[in-house]
Amino acid sequence: MPDLHAAVRAFVEQTVRPQVEAWDRADDLPHAVLEELVALGVTGALVPREHGGGGEVEELDKVGYRGVESAAYRFHAHEAPGAEVLGDAPGEGARQMLDSLDVGRVNVACRALGIVDRCLACAVEESTTREVGDGLLGDHTHAQLRVGELFARRAAVEALVERAAAAVDAGSDAARELSTAAKVVASDTAVWAVDVAARLAASRSYAAGDELARLRRDAPQTQIGEGANDALLLALARPLLRG
Ligand SMILES: Cc1cc2nc3c(=O)[nH]c(=O)nc-3n(C[C@H](O)[C@H](O)[C@H](O)COP(=O)(O)OP(=O)(O)OC[C@H]3O[C@@H](n4cnc5c(N)ncnc54)[C@H](O)[C@@H]3O)c2cc1C
């Protein structure tokens, strides 16, 4: 395991970090990079052919979020007699899967926070460079209010995401509720933030190459991934209403 940690760290430092911004702008993850990951042994389907693996794989043609490849796997007559059984022992798998969802929700919340962050940057850029009437956009109260509100909500989301991440790292009892709350609040804020920033940028949020156009396309995925937000809100409410 320490070898795998070191190999993944080296992969991130040498391959991911230098190129990740370019992949993000191009909205594409080169296949050769994925093959490097597979060679490291950190990804790939773990169902051998003799147990029904290697079945149909349908690549999903998504509108965005293409930095990650997504596919639907269909297994026929699949048996899982050994190492493919999640959690190894009966009853352990669900817990392991739910634990990974806690991490996944923090991951989605972080992506949403990044979108809010960029919306604030776009709103500031637009307000300080765009000339409207006899001055800059940012001279107007409505632009100032939007920048102020973006700043305030970004700070609130950042604090909640950090709290959720700390709870997950500590294995705290509150990890599930906090990671769920962080993912819902961060993703709803991301969709809201794109709308606010795009109103300031107007037509400069709608050309295919505009950052805000890309954020508008990607923000809703954070409301869906790791559980649709409404379904997660129902799950948060359930224990409170049980009395
Ligand atoms: C781009 C993309 C990438 C993805 N990547 C991955 C991945 O890497 N790994 C992975 O495992 N999954 C992945 N997913 C799947 C994702 O986790 C699911 O789409 C998500 O959990 C929502 O599930 P669903 O689409 O089945 O919608 P559903 O959960 O079926 O929701 C449909 C509607 O029903 C409502 N609803 C759901 N449950 C209830 C309920 N109990 N009571 C009342 N209403 C309810 C929801 O609010 C929603 O309005 C990805 C999805 C997308 C779009």
Report, as an integer, the average pLDDT of 58-66.
83
The reply to whether ligand 1 has any atom less than 6 angstroms from the CB of 234 is: yes
The residue whose CA has the least distance to atom 16 of ligand 1 is: 225
Model pLDDT for residues 65-119, shown as the tens digit of each residue = 877 778 888 877 777 777 667 777 777 888 888 888 999 999 999 999 999 999 9
Residue spans per domain, the chain: 2-74, 93-241
Model pLDDT for residues 122-135, shown as the tens digit of each residue = 999 999 999 998 99
The reply to whether ligand 1 has any atom less than 6 angstroms from the CB of 66 is: no
For residues 111 and 157, what is the distance between their CA atoms, to the nearest angstrom? 11
Tell the residue number behind the tokens 């998504």, with chain if given.
Answer: 62
The pLDDT of residue 180 is 98
DSSP letter at 42 equals S
The two counts, helices (H) then strands (E), for the chain are 8, 4
The residue whose CA has the least distance to atom 42 of ligand 1 is: 231
Helix, coil or strand: residue 132? strand
The reply to whether ligand 1 has any atom less than 6 angstroms from the CB of 228 is: yes
φ, ψ for residue 131 (rounded to 5)? Answer: -90, 125
DSSP letter at 137 equals G
DSSP letter at 131 equals E
Tell the residue number behind the tokens 């009853």, with chain if given.
Answer: 91
The reply to whether ligand 1 has any atom less than 6 angstroms from the CB of 230 is: yes
Fold for domain 93-241? Butyryl-CoA Dehydrogenase, subunit A; domain 3 (1.20.140)
The reply to whether ligand 1 has any atom less than 6 angstroms from the CB of 205 is: no
